[in-house]
């Protein structure tokens, strides 16, 4: 991971932390987190709209300091057509949209949110507050 102060990637910023992405062709990522970013098209139930836009509840995978001011089931706001897979070792939280999707990841001082905390009301502000307390 990056040495020094904590880093938080939001939405595309989170996706860049992984080893690769399929968005607009195959591209290498920063490789700070194991896993890859893939498109939702063909991987989610056909009746679901893509991009995924809306509020979804967080499901905690493990304890982490980013979660200290929120509760499991709190909702956050997503806008995305791609998501991270093969990233179990860094997974903190998921959200359901036809299947479990990566929502929050972390490795040492590198963290990422697929959703937009800045658009997620009090819950999002509490996640950002927890990040600033790192």
- Active-site positions read 11, 116, 118
Residue 66 has phi, psi (to 5 degrees) of: -65, -20
If we measure between CA atoms, which residue out of 85, 80, 11, 84 comes closest to residue 50? 80
């Amino acid at each position: 991971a990056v040495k020094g102060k904590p880093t938080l990637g939001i939405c595309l910023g989170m996706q860049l932390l992984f080893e690769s992405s399929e968005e607009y062709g195959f591209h290498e990522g920063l490789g700070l987190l194991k896993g890859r970013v893939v498109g939702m098209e063909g991987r989610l139930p056909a009746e679901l709209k893509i991009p995924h836009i809306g509020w979804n509840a967080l499901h905690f995978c493990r304890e982490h300091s980013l979660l200290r001011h929120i509760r499991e089931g709190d909702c956050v706001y997503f806008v995305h057509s791609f998501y991270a897979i093969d990233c179990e070792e860094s997974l903190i939280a998921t959200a359901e949209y036809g299947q479990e999707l990566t929502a929050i990841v972390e490795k040492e001082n590198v963290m990422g949110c697929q959703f937009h905390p800045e658009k997620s009301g009090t819950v999002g502000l509490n996640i950002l507050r927890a990040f600033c307390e790192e």
